[in-house]
């Protein structure tokens, strides 16, 4: 299975900025990329992405992703929410769930994240389930306990369907800080998550476990070479075409 390199644009972009970024990415992706590529773009720009996909065939293989999805089924009084079925209508292949910024600023609990993953899976959208410890958790020696608790909630709500999900290990202290987990630190946590998945499904080998947290052109090759690192979730560096393309080029074959 190819590694997956997913960009998380967060609340960045504009029509003009996206046009330039996606055009540059299209040029860079003209030769078959080493990895599967996805872009989690703010929803108002999905139509722009589709227009550019029609214009640049190299973008056609890029999976569209949402940055969140509602924990509720479609239809209902949930102002501001996007249902998984709506994502499906727009051919979204992925939806990030449980990003630490959502857990921190929007109070998302493990249970809410599990329900979001469930909604996505029920509509054929692949959830990218984020887990990760804070710096305080790490310093207290609670890294494994925290990530296992976060993943356990999603496994509990989804059973063996977890084999259809993607997991992203994103240490909170590494997101947007320029401070990256070492390849060894990432591998250690990924191996723990893999073992947890193996206890839940016979198909744990097909669950891609991404690393996210200040991955960049300089450190990507080392991180992506680890046996249980199946790709990356990239924030800041996904907003610069050259950096994002370098990360894609660093994927393990």
| Residues belonging to the active site | 99, 170
Residue 53 or residue 146: which is nearer to ligand PEP going by CB?
146
Site for ligand PEP, residues 142 to 171, rule: CB under 6 A: 170
Residue pair 212/169 in contact (Cβ under 8 Å)? The answer is yes
Q: For residue 247, which of 29, 52, 18 has the smallest C-alpha distance? A: 29
Helices H / strands E in the chain, number of each = 10, 8
Q: Which is nearer to ligand PEP, 57 or 176 (CB)?
A: 176
Q: Residues 5-24 vs ligand PEP: string with x where CB under 6 A?
A: ---x----------------
Nearest residue (CB) to ligand PEP, 112 versus 234? 234
CA gyration radius for the chain?
Answer: 17
- Residue number with the smallest Cβ distance to ligand PEP: 235
CA dist 228 and 181 (Å) reads 14
Is 230 among the residues that bind ligand PEP (CB under 6 A)? no
Residue 53 or 172: the one with the smaller Cβ distance to ligand PEP is 172
CB of 200 to ligand PEP, least distance (A): 24
- When asked if residue 250 is in the footprint of ligand PEP (CB under 6 A), the reply is no
- Least distance (Å) from ligand PEP to the CB of residue 176? 4
Q: Is 56 exposed, middle or buried (0-12, 13-18, 19+ CB in 10 A)?
A: middle
The answer to whether 235 contacts ligand PEP (rule: CB under 6 A) is yes
Q: Does 61 bind ligand PEP (CB under 6 A)?
A: no
Name the residue among 230, 167, 163 with its Cα closest to residue 203. Answer: 163
Helices (H), 123-179: 135-139, 143-158
Give the whole-angstrom CA distance, residue 76 versus residue 198. Answer: 36
Q: Does 213 bind ligand PEP (CB under 6 A)?
A: yes
Shortest distance (Å) from residue 8 CB to ligand PEP = 4
Q: Residue 56 has what DSSP assignment? A: -
**Applying CB under 6 A, does 214 fall inside the site for ligand PEP?**
yes
25 is a contact residue toward ligand PEP (CB under 6 A): no
Check binding of 179 to ligand PEP (CB under 6 A): no
User: CA-to-CA distance for 238 and 226, rounded, in angstroms?
Assistant: 21
C-alpha 130/C-alpha 144 separation (Å) is: 14
Residues within the interface to ligand PEP (CB under 6 A): 8, 170, 175-176, 212-215, 233-237
């Amino acid at each position: 299975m190819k590694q997956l390199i997913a960009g998380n644009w967060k609340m960045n972009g504009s029509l003009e900025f996206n046009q330039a970024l996606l055009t540059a990415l299209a040029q860079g992706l003209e030769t078959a990329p080493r990895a599967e590529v996805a872009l989690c773009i703010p929803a108002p720009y999905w139509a722009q992405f589709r227009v550019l996909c029609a214009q640049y065939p190299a973008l056609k293989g890029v999976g569209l992703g949402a940055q969140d999805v509602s924990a509720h089924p479609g239809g209902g009084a949930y102002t501001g929410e996007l249902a998984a079925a709506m994502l499906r209508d727009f051919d979204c292949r992925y939806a990030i769930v449980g990003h630490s910024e959502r857990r921190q600023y929007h109070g998302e609990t493990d249970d809410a994240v599990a329900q979001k993953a469930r909604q996505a899976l029920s509509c054929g959208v692949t959830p990218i389930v984020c887990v990760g410890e804070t710096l305080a958790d790490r310093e207290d020696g609670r890294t494994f306990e925290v990530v296992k608790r976060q993943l356990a909630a999603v496994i509990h709500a989804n059973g063996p369907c977890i084999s259809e999900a993607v997991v992203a290990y994103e240490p909170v202290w590494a997101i947007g800080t320029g401070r990256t987990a070492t390849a060894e630190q990432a591998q250690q946590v990924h191996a723990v998550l893999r073992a947890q998945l193996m206890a839940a499904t016979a198909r744990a080998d097909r669950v891609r476990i991404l690393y996210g947290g200040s991955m960049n052109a300089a450190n990507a090759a080392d991180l992506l070479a680890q046996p249980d690192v199946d790709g990356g979730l990239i924030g800041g560096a996904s907003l610069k075409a050259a950096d994002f393309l370098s990360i894609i080029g660093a994927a393990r074959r």
